[in-house]
């Protein structure tokens, strides 16, 4: 899980004055697109962290703030509405006793079919209920002959120590690398970008499993229900924070190597070393001290090693210092602690000693400085002794939990019964889009700073290049082609072509050779003479303007072509409470605004045209700009499962409904080889008595 020094990481370091020691003094030569992107991430991270820090420092009513923040966190973990507390169906499958410790192998279902495998450690001799630790594992693969024994086997020594020292301890497997192996790496390397659109993160599963683990512990007579603590390292450090932040039954928390700053993740590149279980779907644009603030004033000790490359020292200290301000405001500074031990990102026993002291003080009332009787914690059980299942249950849903854990809009959409029903549904959808999907957009009204950079005339066409600020620090070009000698205001029509990478190459092969001065520094592809002749014919016969808009990351602002790098670029956007597609929707909006700011360009009718996922982005952009006469969308995905990636959107709507909203405002032309899949939209148009020209579903040219 240690991040490599990727090209983007190097570019980010060049753009930022604040970064961890692992990335210092490395020479870089980023491209223009890489440099712009790096500066963008640095600036967005700085704005987000500054806003969060100001909230922490200026808040005067922490109990009220915590109630609102906790509601946000439940939502960002996919736990709103909270799942039903169904029957746990807890089952003990085996018991072993050794060296004064009894360990029970058990399982329960946190939701029907969602199995949690666990080991429950307790002293062989016990007099009354004991303080109890929920130990949440990090990623500790134990596999023998292709059979997973679960993370809990790797972390057994912690449960043993607690049982030997007067506690009971429930150690639970994680979804990833548990006995039933689910997935934590959806966006990291599995291409499941729809996780963001579903508002799904495996962090939510781990949080819910921890909540239900406490429910189970409350049924055990050996457990003191008023003295729950939680700890774990790495991924388990993060899950320690989720459960402590969400559930007040946790009285003491000691996360180990589980949290660092947004600066470390986005700017310094630590996100590249983490799977998705470490992150909420950051709808409300949190920095991580807001998570720890939810634990105050309960005792919290943050522990880490000093050479941890995925939880760097400066970021851990930053989180601690900001959280300490909350404890100070609540007169509980004695309840927060910070402990470091020398070493890398590794489970070392000396690091745990401070956590043991912390629990002894706050769950047993021992004094500061009291020595532990024994700080050692050997592994005394064989993996086979800790295995829960001899055969995995046939009804398990762990392996596809991402498909049902968060609620989503039904795949079989129902057309509203009446215009009034539709008006209410549409208003609710638009409100949710604004509040749950597009919170990462900049404030409206920023200056476009539009400039014309090139103008040339050839073969009856005027070709111009313009530049504008989509937002501060993101400067994009667009290219306008119109009949030679025509004024923009005298055109009958302007078509905005939102370009993806394929569209950019097609555009460049059409116009690059003829107007090469408009493309300084770019390598031009082989000319498509046929396409160029077609453009000449169009502008000779029609008073049309054709605008070509390469959104961020396309064309002149393209960044690295390394696929792994591009994955982590997209993950950075999401961690900042945006997505790449969300910001490209913004680019299309701003490109339209820039066009209309050209003298006379607000007069012609405006069409938007795009392909594939970019067609989905164009569809959304049309909802927020006035007087879009027509949308020509080629191969528009039917669902956000295929794209675009927009935070939370599948929890309440999908592309057919968005097309219905857009179709009330603009004429729709859908070019698809499968008209049947758009039956909802066709039925909707019929029900709402749209004019025939309002919706046309056509086969692409050249297809029967």
Closest to 651 measured CA to CA, from 202, 198, 80, 281: 198
The answer as to whether 431 is a domain residue is no
Q: For residue 425, give the DSSP letter.
A: H
Residue 513 located in a structural domain: yes
SS3 148: strand
36 and 131 inside one domain: no
Give CA–CA dist 704/295, Å, rounded: 62
Q: Which residues contact 615 (CB under 8 A, 6 or more apart)?
A: 633, 634, 635, 636, 637
Q: Which two tokens stand for residue 365?
A: 């009332």
Give the domain-ending residue among 60, 85, 101.
60
Per-residue pLDDT tens digits for 366-420: 998 888 878 888 899 999 999 999 999 999 999 999 999 999 998 888 999 999 9
Is pLDDT above 50 for 7? no
Tokens describing residue 8 = 């983007």
Stretch (H or E) spanning 298? none
Q: Both 620 and 474 in a single domain?
A: yes
Domain span at 171: 65-366+380-403
Check whether residue 186 and residue 138 sit in a common domain.
yes
Q: Which residue reads 């592994």 in tokens?
A: 379
Burial 42-68 (b: 16+ CB within 10 A, else e): bbbbbebbeebbebbeebeebeebbee
Would residue 409 count as lying in a domain?
no
Domain count, the chain: 3
Looking at the fold, whether 99 and 167 belong to one and the same domain comes out as: yes
Please check whether residue 117 lies inside any domain of the structure: yes
Instruction: Tell which residue, 461, 441, 691, has the closest CA to residue 578.
Output: 441
DSSP letter at 82 equals: P
Could you tell me the pLDDT band of residue 702, with boundaries at 50, 70 and 90? low
Quick check: is 390 in a domain? yes
Is 162 in the same domain as 52? Answer: no
Residues 92 and 15 in one domain: no
Q: What is the tens place of the pLDDT at every residue in 619-667? A: 999 999 999 999 999 999 999 999 999 999 999 999 999 999 999 999 9
> Can you give the CATH number for the domain in which 194 is found?
3.40.50.1820
pLDDT at 380: 95
- Asked if 537 and 661 sit in the same domain, the reply is yes
Rounded CA gap, 205 and 275, in Å? 14
Are 113 and 396 contacting, i.e. CB atoms less than 8 angstroms apart?
Answer: yes
Q: 392 with 491, same domain?
A: no
Identify the DSSP state of 330: T
Q: Is residue 427 part of a domain?
A: no
User: Does residue 408 sit within a domain?
Assistant: no
Percent of the chain with pLDDT over 90: 90
**Could you say which of 16, 34, 60 is where a domain stops?**
60
Both 53 and 144 in one domain: the answer is no
% of the chain residues with pLDDT over 70: 95
What token pair was written down for 64?
A: 């009220």
Asked, for residue 245, whether it belongs to a domain, the answer is: yes
Alpha-carbon distances of 659 from 416, 665, 687, rounded to whole Å: 14, 10, 15
* 277 DSSP 8-state letter: G
Q: What's the chain's average pLDDT?
A: 93
Q: What are all long-range contacts of 682-687, with beta carbons under 8 Å and residues at least 24 apart?
A: 683/415, 684/415, 684/416, 684/656, 684/660, 685/660, 687/415, 687/416
Residue 71: helix, strand or coil by DSSP?
A: helix
The H or E element spanning position 604 is: none
In this predicted structure, which of 6-20, 329-343, 365-379 has the lowest mean pLDDT? Answer: 6-20
For 23, 169, 273, 555, the CA distances from 35, given in Å and listed in that order, are 16, 49, 22, 14
Higher-scoring residue by pLDDT: 445, 360: 360
Residue closest to 432 by CA, chosen among 52, 80, 63, 16: 80
Sign, CA torsion 694/700/701/703: negative
| Residues near 541 by beta carbon (within 8 Å), at least 6 away in sequence | none
Residues 115 and 240 in one domain: yes
Q: Please work out, in degrees rounded to the nearest 5, the angle formed at the alpha carbon of residue 346 by the alpha carbons of 342 and 347.
A: 100
Burial category of 193 from C-beta neighbours within 10 Å (exposed 0-12, middle 13-18, buried 19 and up): buried
**Cβ atoms of residues 300 and 337 within 8 Å:** yes
The whole-angstrom separation of Cα 230 and Cα 695 is: 57
Residues 53 and 154 placed together within one structural domain of the fold: no
Task: Clarify whether residues 358 and 209 are in a common domain.
Answer: yes
Instruction: Check pLDDT > 70 for residue 704.
Output: no
């Amino acid at each position: 899980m240690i991040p490599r020094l990727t090209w983007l990481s190097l570019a980010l370091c060049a753009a930022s004055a604040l970064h961890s020691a692992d990335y210092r003094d490395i020479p870089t030569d980023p491209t223009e697109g890489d440099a712009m992107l790096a500066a963008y991430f640095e600036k967005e991270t700085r704005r987000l962290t500054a806003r969060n820090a100001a909230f922490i420092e200026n808040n005067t009513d922490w109990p009220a703030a915590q109630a609102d923040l906790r509601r946000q966190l439940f939502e960002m973990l996919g736990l709103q509405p909270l799942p039903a507390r169904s029957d746990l169906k807890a089952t003990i499958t085996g018991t072993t006793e050794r060296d004064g410790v009894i360990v029970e192998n058990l399982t329960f279902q946190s939701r029907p079919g969602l199995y949690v495998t666990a080991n429950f450690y307790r002293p062989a001799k016990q007099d009354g209920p004991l303080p109890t630790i929920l130990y949440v594992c990090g990623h500790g693969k134990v596999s023998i002959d292709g059979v997973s024994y679960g993370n809990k086997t790797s972390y057994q020594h912690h449960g043993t120590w607690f049982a030997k020292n007067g506690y009971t301890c429930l150690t639970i497997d994680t979804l990833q690398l548990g006995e039933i192996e689910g997935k934590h790496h959806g966006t990291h390397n599995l291409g499941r970008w729809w996780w963001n659109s579903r508002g799904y993160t495996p962090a939510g599963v781990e949080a819910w499993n921890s909540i239900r683990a406490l429910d189970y512990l409350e049924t055990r007579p050996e457990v003191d229900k008023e003295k729950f603590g939680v700890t774990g390292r790495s991924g388990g450090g993060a899950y320690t924070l989720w459960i402590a932040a969400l559930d007040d039954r946790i009285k003491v928390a000691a996360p180990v190597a589980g949290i660092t700053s947004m600066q470390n993740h986005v700017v310094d590149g630590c996100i590249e070393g983490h799977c998705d279980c470490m992150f909420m779907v950051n709808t409300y644009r949190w920095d991580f001290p807001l998570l720890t603030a939810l634990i105050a004033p309960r005792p919290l000790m943050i522990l880490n090693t000093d050479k941890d490359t995925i939880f760097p020292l400066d970021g851990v200290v930053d989180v601690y210092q900001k959280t300490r301000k909350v404890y100070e405001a609540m007169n509980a500074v004695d309840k927060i602690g910070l402990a470091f031990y020398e070493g890398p990102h590794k489970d070392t026993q000396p690091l745990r000693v401070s956590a043991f002291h912390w629990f002894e003080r706050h769950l047993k009332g021992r004094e500061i400085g009291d020595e532990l009787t024994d700080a050692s914690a050997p592994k005394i059980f064989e993996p086979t002794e800790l295995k829960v299942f001899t055969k995995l249950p046939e009804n398990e849903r762990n392996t596809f939990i991402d498909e049902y854990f968060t609620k989503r809009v039904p795949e079989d959409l129902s057309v509203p019964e009446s215009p009034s029903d539709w008006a209410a549904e549409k208003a609710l959808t638009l409100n949710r889009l604004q509040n749950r999907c597009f919170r990462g957009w900049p404030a409206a009204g920023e200056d476009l700073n539009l400039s014309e950079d090139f103008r040339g005339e050839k073969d009856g066409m005027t070709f111009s290049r313009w530049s504008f600020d989509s937002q501060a620090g993101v400067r994009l070009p667009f290219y306008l082609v119109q009949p030679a000698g025509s004024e923009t205001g005298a055109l009958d029509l302007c078509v905005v072509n939102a370009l993806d990478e394929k569209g950019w190459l097609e555009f460049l092969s059409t116009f690059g050779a003829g107007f090469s001065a408009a493309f300084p520094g770019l390598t031009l592809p082989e000319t498509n003479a046929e396409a160029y002749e077609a453009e000449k014919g169009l502008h000779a016969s029609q008073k049309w303007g054709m605008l070509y808009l390469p959104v961020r990351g396309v064309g002149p602002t393209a960044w690295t072509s390394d696929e792994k790098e591009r994955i982590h670029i997209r993950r950075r956007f999401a961690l900042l409470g945006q997505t790449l597609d969300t910001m490209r929707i913004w680019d299309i909006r701003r490109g339209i605004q820039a066009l209309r700011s050209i003298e006379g360009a607000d007069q012609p009718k405006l069409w938007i045209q795009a392909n594939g996922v970019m067609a989905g982005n164009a569809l959304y952009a049309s909802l927020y700009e006035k007087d879009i006469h027509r949308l020509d969308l080629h191969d528009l995905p039917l669902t956000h499962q295929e794209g675009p990636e927009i935070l939370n959107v599948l929890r309440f709507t999908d592309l057919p409904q968005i097309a219905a909203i857009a179709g009330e405002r603009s004429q729709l032309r859908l070019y698809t080889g499968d008209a049947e899949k758009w039956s909802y939209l066709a039925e909707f148009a019929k029900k709402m008595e749209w004019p025939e020209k309002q919706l046309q579903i056509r086969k692409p040219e050249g297809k029967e």
